[in-house]
Chains A and B, each alone.
Chain A
Amino acid sequence: MSFQVIGKVLPRKDGIAKVCGQEVYPSDIVVPNMLYGVTLRSPYPHAEILSIDTAAAEAMGAIVVTPDDVPDVIYNERTVSIPEKTYRDRRVLPRRARHVGEAIVAVAAETEELAFRAMRAIKVEYKVLPPVLDLDKAMDPGAAPLYEEIYLGDDKIEVRNNIACERIITVGDPEAGFAKADHIVEREYELPRVYHHQMETKTAVCRPEPNGGITVWATTQTIHNVRQLLGHIFGIPLSKVNVKKLAIGGSFGSSIQMNSIIPICVALALKARRPVKMVSSREDDIYDHAKFPARIRLKVGVKKDGTIVAADMRVMVDIGAHQINAYPLLGCMAGWYASLYKWRDFYYEGRAIYTNKVPACAMQGYGNPQVNFAVESHMDIIAEECGFDPVEFRLKNYVGIGDEFWGQGPTVKSIIKSCGVEEMLRKGAEMIGWANRRPHHEKSGRYRRGIGVARGFHTSGTGGPKPGEVIDYSSATIKINEDGTVDVMTPVMDLGGGTGEAAVKVVAEVLKVPYERVELSPVDTKTTGYDVCTHATRGVYCGCGAVYHVAQQVKTKLLEFAGRILEENPENLELAYEEEKNVSIVHVKGFKQKQITIGEVAKLAQIYSWGTIAATDSLRQKNCPPCFVAHFIEVEVDTWTGIVKIPRAILLSDTGTPINPDMVAGQLIGSLSRGMGYALYEETEYDLATGKLKCNGFITDNKIPTSCEMPYIDDIQVYFAHTYEPTGPFGAKGIGEAALNSVASAVANAIYNAIGIRFYRTPITPEKILQALEGGGKVGN
């Protein structure tokens, strides 16, 4: 297909502002007369708050908000799921601290320093309770309960054995399936807690308005959900709550939910009757959220010919102190598992357990990298035990065209209509030289190289033919200005991946307008229709899907006005971009001589008082197409120091039409770095005696790989499969989360191919590699 702007590498709309340091992030917001807020956070993992003495702080001129000052509303900060499937267990400030670093009291003052000093003058009397820090002991009958009761939708429910929620799914008859198997492989995998490590920590600025409302500038992936939740918690009509859309300094999922400091900031501002700004420190942030860890037990049965006949997966997730999105996570993990291979008959059991740790939430992949690590390690183990080629074994069993894909758990499913799995596996194998890959037992010497493959996917959004447990639609407003330029108003947050540019390109393509004549408008919740959230890799497919839908309506109106001017039937008109003259025209089909520029149409429509050529609408996507990826990664293991290097990586993706090809490559390469971190470096470990993080919240001891650890750019190859998603805007699907999902699995498989040691846990640190090599190679299990 040939496009005017889709698929072209063009400068980012926010590029100049970002490079010049002029882009406005929440932390740049300064409002006249504002105070600065800080939080006092619990030093204990589990403690009842008996009393709070704020006198000294108030004597210093500070405004203090305690748990007694916040509305008695129990909510869940993530409102992506429908209300009856949403577990609620938290208040703005708790009466009982459930993890070290949980905010308990908030203080605002004229300067941040004064606020901080006032915060230190507050005396909190705690009754320390026994903490639950070990997943294995959390469900013991004697374990201290984190909650007696919580809410599911409107129902109060009792919490037993610290089990936050669970999901059990059976498809077919797994027992009968396993009975047919010639070979059964069972293993347990463990994936750690890691920190999102997004560049920007969280900011909230809240200005109380004279009409009793509030204006909020905050770090978020969803302005509309923040607006609705603040309205609900503080009892303010939505027409008086405005949340501004600003740039975000990365998120990796950590701002899908309303960030914990946002309602705290609002509470401070309402009490102070003045604007308040809060910027969390890095340690506040590390103590605020983490990726869901997972323990996964997987059993798979295969026949001699390589056909999979049954599978059984049991997942335990240590979710920490609150449910942000544990229940949908368990469903999604079931879906990622169900959609990787045709298990035929299978069982799934997922359990989320409360512990006195930092609450876990979505982080790039939302359970998918965890499931992928288990399944893709498992596929290699089976292939080796049964003598199958790992690539062919995958090709024989993968879920592809015409199969059902679970885009967001068991209630959001659609049929796969585009799929590049075979193309990517064949191409990747060729590019890495798969045919010459030698088994680990033929390798010796200090430095050993290995090649690993893994494949994965993510959903593109959470739409589907039927409404499911999650809300998914988006809105847009588009108008043609009187000189033929175009304004696009979209509530969809661009998390840095180029969603904004994609929206501009879609509009430019539909209206045949040059890219530089379409701009994104600054918007907020008052000026836009609803968008659920930039999560689930839905920005392009769903967000720009709505933009495409509205752009078509604008086009219809444009042709209608042009038809009046040209005295032609609009159906007989079409749009074209005249490159030589750099103008966009409406002309009679097949007869370019009869034409008028878009700018002239818009200007005449104004002069004749016909109105603005504009449209506003919403769209729900009726599918959740998978964007597939494959990773072929080469590692070099130094068997004397245990250090793993990545000399070569081949990153393949099937995103449908890559609307921003440079940014798709950027997502793949950036995710290689994050995947290396997940495989080799990262874990937020706890001191089980104190409940504190071993890194104490400091990035000094929470290392992630940087550009120094990456392969040289010439050693990274990116390949796009040639697919077209019929339901996506100009054939596009997503990429963001998919890009990460099989990186760690491919690294672990490559390490096995290098040294013959199978790691069942990440991170695979040099310390663990040396220990395993000394122990003769058995690790885990």
Chain B
Amino acid sequence: METNTKILAAEFQYLEGQDLDQVLAWLAEYREKARILAGGTDLLVKMKLGHVQPEYIIYIKKIAALNYIQYDTGNLKIGATTTLSQIERHETIKGYYSALYEAVRSMAAVAVKNMGTIGGNLGNASPAADTAPPLLVYDASLKIASKEGVREIPITEYFVGPGKSVLAPNELLLEISIPEIEADTGSSFLKLGRVAADIAKINVAVCLKRSGRTCTSCRIAFGSVAPIPMRVREAESLLEGKELTEDLITLAARAGAAEIKPITDNRSTREYRLKVSRVILEEALRAAWQRAGGAL
């Protein structure tokens, strides 16, 4: 036992970014030796455990230009250092982006949400990250910057493996942008943990569009049941263009559960995840359908 979670034992240089250019310049210079610090609710834990020992810590929360929630022309744009609490309290998100709202509401406890940021949740790239499934089903895209310039990628291309993303060591996540939510669209998020305040055993998000009794489009994403948060495309295609019935929901949920690749870990077992992902997907589909104005 060589840990002591009260102590940050390794020495590092603490850099406080005042503007974006400065941060990007530091990232370009220090690359792998540096880590971005936002709320620190993931990073500091890892540093105390000795799992990461950066030589440079670049604090980004002082940069006002990274903290915003913008909602115009129907698009939702969230700056990377926006805290989970800010998102939870945002009326538009609460009203229209139910899956994202429910995901953030389900996370941690107040203190952690006051510190933790959406950029950090993605930056940490945990397979269980609660904001990942909603962002996947909203088809969000991510704006990423480096000294060389800015690129934008769909979130489906972002996650690579447990704790791994496509972010290069010199890159900074700037913004999460979510396309307009059209009329007759409904979304939902569900999560099971060991207790209420917990990292997910399983989480799932659904976003679907309705036309009459037909589900015209549907996106489903699971978390904590595979190396990365994942869309389950077979289940989605079973629903798309079909009249939504209880039977179809059951069928799609079964298909969705067949696509995941869970493991047994401290939080749950592979068998449990396989069985119960079907149950919570059914519920998430029903909730999203109802929010889209559909009846069953």
Instruction: Contact check, B1 vs A697: say whether CB atoms are below 8 A apart.
Output: yes
Q: Compute how far the CA of A612 lies from the CA of B194 in the bound complex, rounded to whole angstroms.
A: 59
**Is the C-beta of B2 less than 8 angstroms from some C-beta in chain A?**
yes
**Is the C-beta of A694 less than 8 angstroms from some C-beta in chain B?**
yes
- When each residue 634-648 of chain A gets 1 if its CB lies under 8 Å from chain B and 0 otherwise, what string results? 000000111100000
Closest residue of B by beta carbon distance from A698: B5
Q: Compute how far the CA of A741 lies from the CA of B290 in the bound complex, rounded to whole angstroms.
A: 45
- When each residue 254-287 of chain A gets 1 if its CB lies under 8 Å from chain B and 0 otherwise, what string results? 0000000000000000000000000101111001
| Cβ distance A423 to chain B, nearest Cβ, rounded Å | 35
Closest residue of B by beta carbon distance from A643: B192
Instruction: Contact check, A705 vs B195: say whether CB atoms are below 8 A apart.
Output: yes
Query: Residues of A contacting B198 with CB < 8 Å?
Result: 703
**Is the C-beta of B9 less than 8 angstroms from some C-beta in chain A?**
yes
Q: Which of B238-269 contact A (CB under 8 A)?
A: 266-269
Instruction: Contact check, B1 vs A287: say whether CB atoms are below 8 A apart.
Output: yes
Instruction: Contact check, A283 vs B5: say whether CB atoms are below 8 A apart.
Output: yes
| Cβ distance B11 to chain A, nearest Cβ, rounded Å | 9
Query: Residues of B contacting A640 with CB < 8 Å?
Result: 276, 279
| Cβ distance B90 to chain A, nearest Cβ, rounded Å | 23
A283 interface neighbour in B3, B192, B275, Cβ under 8 Å: B3
Q: Given A283-B3, A681-B195, A701-B266, verify A770-B9 contact (CB < 8 Å).
A: no
> Interface stretch among A37-45, A241-249, A496-504?
A37-45
| Cβ distance A109 to chain B, nearest Cβ, rounded Å | 12
Query: Residues of B contacting A281 with CB < 8 Å?
Result: 3-6
Instruction: Contact check, A694 vs B266: say whether CB atoms are below 8 A apart.
Output: yes
Instruction: Contact check, A641 vs B276: say whether CB atoms are below 8 A apart.
Output: yes
**Is the C-beta of B196 less than 8 angstroms from some C-beta in chain A?**
yes
Query: Residues of A contacting B192 with CB < 8 Å?
Result: 641, 643, 766
Instruction: Contact check, B6 vs A120: say whether CB atoms are below 8 A apart.
Output: no
**Is the C-beta of B63 less than 8 angstroms from some C-beta in chain A?**
no
Query: Residues of A contacting B9 with CB < 8 Å?
Result: 113, 116-117, 120
**Is the C-beta of A704 less than 8 angstroms from some C-beta in chain B?**
yes
We find that the number of chain A residues with CB closer than 8 angstroms to chain B is 38
**Is the C-beta of A695 less than 8 angstroms from some C-beta in chain B?**
yes
Query: Residues of A contacting B268 with CB < 8 Å?
Result: 767
Query: Residues of B contacting A279 with CB < 8 Å?
Result: 6
**Is the C-beta of A100 less than 8 angstroms from some C-beta in chain B?**
yes
Instruction: Contact check, A767 vs B269: say whether CB atoms are below 8 A apart.
Output: yes
- When each residue 16-55 of chain A gets 1 if its CB lies under 8 Å from chain B and 0 otherwise, what string results? 0000000000000000000000100111000000000000
Instruction: Contact check, A112 vs B276: say whether CB atoms are below 8 A apart.
Output: no
Q: Which of B77-96 contact A (CB under 8 A)?
A: none
Instruction: Contact check, A283 vs B195: say whether CB atoms are below 8 A apart.
Output: no
Query: Residues of A contacting B1 with CB < 8 Å?
Result: 41-43, 100-101, 283-284, 287, 697
B276 interface neighbour in A42, A700, A770, Cβ under 8 Å: A770
Q: Compute how far the CA of A642 lies from the CA of B192 in the bound complex, rounded to whole angstroms.
A: 11
Query: Residues of B contacting A282 with CB < 8 Å?
Result: 5
Q: Given A117-B9, A640-B276, A641-B279, verify A703-B195 contact (CB < 8 Å).
A: yes
Q: Compute how far the CA of A287 lies from the CA of B5 in the bound complex, rounded to whole angstroms.
A: 14
Q: Given A38-B4, A120-B9, A283-B3, verify A706-B279 contact (CB < 8 Å).
A: no
**Is the C-beta of A709 less than 8 angstroms from some C-beta in chain B?**
yes
Query: Residues of A contacting B197 with CB < 8 Å?
Result: 706, 708
Q: Compute how far the CA of A770 lies from the CA of B4 in the bound complex, rounded to whole angstroms.
A: 37
Query: Residues of B contacting A444 with CB < 8 Å?
Result: none
Closest residue of B by beta carbon distance from A774: B275
| Cβ distance B233 to chain A, nearest Cβ, rounded Å | 25
| Cβ distance B95 to chain A, nearest Cβ, rounded Å | 25
Q: Compute how far the CA of A770 lies from the CA of B195 in the bound complex, rounded to whole angstroms.
A: 17
| Cβ distance A22 to chain B, nearest Cβ, rounded Å | 21
List 12 A–B pairs whose Cβ atoms lie within 8 Å, in order of A's numbering.
A38-B4, A42-B1, A120-B9, A281-B5, A283-B5, A641-B280, A703-B195, A706-B197, A708-B196, A709-B196, A767-B269, A771-B271
* Residues of A in contact with B (beta carbons under 8 Å apart): 38, 41-43, 100-101, 112-113, 116-117, 120, 279, 281-284, 287, 640-643, 681, 694-695, 697-698, 700-701, 703-706, 708-709, 766-767, 770-771
Known: A116-B4, A695-B266. 5 other contacts (CB 8 A): A281-B4, A705-B195, A708-B197, A771-B271, A771-B272
Please give me the 9 A-B residue pairs with the lowest Cβ-Cβ distance, nearest first: A708-B196, A41-B1, A701-B266, A767-B272, A703-B194, A640-B279, A703-B195, A281-B4, A116-B7
